[in-house]
Amino acid sequence: MPLFSLLLFAFVASFTPGPNNIMAMMFANTYGFKKTFKFCLGVGVGFFIILIMSAYFNLLLHNFIPKIEFMMTIIGAAYMLYIAIKIVTSKNNGNDDNVGNNNSFFVGVVLQFINPKAILYGITVMSTFILPYNTSHLSFLFYSVFLATIGILSTSSWSMFGSIFKKFISKYRSQFNIVMALLLVYSAISILMG
C-alpha cells in the first residue's frame, strides 16, 4: 500500500477549506472552541460512517454513484450557498442562543451525508488506497477510524483558529463573514465544476 500517498491525500483533502472546516471556524469564532468541539466530533462520526459505507459498498456505489452524483452535487452545492448566505446576513450581537440550532453534534454528522466532498473523498480513498490492498473487516475499521480522526483534527484545527483570533475577527466581522461566505461559494462552484 502506498502509505505516504494515502497520508498526503488524506491531509490535503482534510485540511483544505471546505464546508466542514469553514463552518467549524465560523462556529468557534462565534461560540468558542469548547462549544464547537461537539460539531467537530459530529463531523468525524459522520465521516467515519461515510468511510465504512464506502468500504463495504464500494462496488455497489461504483455502479450507483453515477446515477445520483449529479443530484448529490446540486444538493451539496445548494446547501453550501445557503450557508454562505446565512453567514453574510448574520448579525452577531454577542448572543449565542442559536448554538443548539446549527453548532451541534447532530448537524456535524448529517452534514457529511450532503457534503459531496466527504462522499467523494470516502469513495476515492477507499477504492484507491484501501480496497486494492486490504479487504478484512479489521482493516476497514482501522482505516475508517484513522481517516475520521484526521477529519476531526482538521475541523478542530480550523475551529481553534477561529477561537484564537476571535477578537481580531470580531473587529472585522463583516469582512470576515464575506471572506468565509466567498470560500463556501468557491467550494460550491468547484464541486459543481469538478
pLDDT (tens, 9 = 90+) of the chain, 194 residues, equals 778 888 888 888 888 777 888 889 989 988 889 999 999 999 999 999 999 998 887 756 556 666 666 776 677 677 768 777 877 887 654 444 444 456 789 989 998 988 878 888 888 888 788 877 887 889 999 999 999 999 999 999 999 988 888 778 778 878 877 887 887 788 778 767 76
What are 65's three cell numbers?
454513484
Residues 180 and 90: beta-carbon distance below 8 Å = no
Residues 114 and 79: beta-carbon distance below 8 Å = yes
**Domain membership flag for residue 153:** yes
**Domain membership flag for residue 125:** yes
Write out the residue range of the structural domain in which residue 53 sits.
3-91+104-193
- The domain tally of the chain equals 1
Please list, in sequence order, all residues whose beta carbon lies within 8 angstroms of the beta carbon of residue 84, skipping any fewer than 6 positions away. 180, 181, 182, 184, 185, 188
What are 94's three cell numbers?
454577542
In the chain, alpha helices (H): 3-15, 19-31, 33-56, 58-89, 99-102, 105-111, 116-125, 137-164, 166-171, 173-193
State pTM to two decimals.
0.73
**Domain membership flag for residue 99:** no
* The pLDDT of residue 15: 83
Half-sphere exposure of 194 (CA within 13 A, CB side): 16
**Domain membership flag for residue 96:** no
* The pLDDT of residue 96: 44
Q: How far apart are CA 20 and CA 60, in angstroms?
A: 26
